[in-house]
Structure 1
């Protein structure tokens, strides 16, 4: 399976101590050079920077289709634009993206998009993590990740942890 990741899933999972979930679920991950640059932006080492630097299971790529990247940059940041272009170049099965505009653009190209909540749901389903709720709470509180209440509650139901679940 070929999986390309944007910056947000890397930083948010690292911030809550769940970076390793990516390796356990996908084995190998691909990132664009723009994602690496975002992890090191503004003279700050963002969560996930050290993890990515030390992960031999993450492959960095220079995106070839700069025309596509330039077109996508009208509406998206560099990491999102390059992640979408890279996903198309390598024939990715999944592209990990969280931002609404980036997700929409990727879907317009026929890419299968999964966000950080989807990664955690898959981790729960595959028993990589035991409970979803503590990780969703940590995304909100520790990582500062915006997670709307309806998405939060829906994810808990899907995971069998919500008020409407049958477990």
Structure 2
């Protein structure tokens, strides 16, 4: 059953799940996802997964919010891109329960500010533990789509599910 916590996402986890056609995992794990307008702008720059993203918005599962450029926004924007900055700032403003980020720097900044972070691999791992994902196949699909996972991390992830 999906939890009802506030989950805020950056661009890359949504885009990566779109590339492997696994938005169903978001819907099975979360009651909804909130994204800043800046993230929506990044997502709609390309064609990948656009139809599925629009369907998620129309269904009300994916909601967009405006994020103002506060002092914190400007400070974080010196380290990260626009979407990551907006997602982290909104998550902090709203005391979000979880932030979906894939980039290492984004995760570091979010954790520095006390946020709980996971990414596309965490979503896949949770799905695998629930029996909804054949993890090796999905990790391979992510790699084929251009998502970089080191061989060591790949092995660690598969070992975690095998336990």
TM-score of the pair, normalised by structure 2: 0.91
Post-superposition shift, 1:128? 2.5
SS in structure 2 of the partner of residue 17 of structure 1: coil
Post-superposition shift, 1:65? 5.2
- Which of the residues 75, 80, 83 maps onto 2:84? 80
Question: Counterpart in 1 of 2:19?
Answer: 15
Question: Counterpart in 2 of 1:49?
Answer: 50
Aligned length: 156
Is this contact kept in 2: 1:19–1:48, CA < 8 A?
A: no
SS in structure 1 of the partner of residue 12 of structure 2: helix
- Which of the residues 130, 135, 145 maps onto 1:132? 135
| Structure 2 stretches lacking a partner, 5+ long | none
Is this contact kept in 2: 1:31–1:58, CA < 8 A?
A: yes
Post-superposition shift, 1:2? 1.1
Alignment RMSD (CA, Å): 1.3
TM-score of the pair, normalised by structure 1: 0.88
Question: Counterpart in 2 of 1:144?
Answer: 146
| Structure 1 stretches lacking a partner, 5+ long | none
1:159 aligned to 2:161?
A: yes
1:64 aligned to 2:68?
A: yes
Question: Counterpart in 2 of 1:33?
Answer: 37
Is this contact kept in 2: 1:24–1:128, CA < 8 A?
A: no
Structure 1 window deviating more from structure 2 (94-103 vs 47-56): it is 47-56
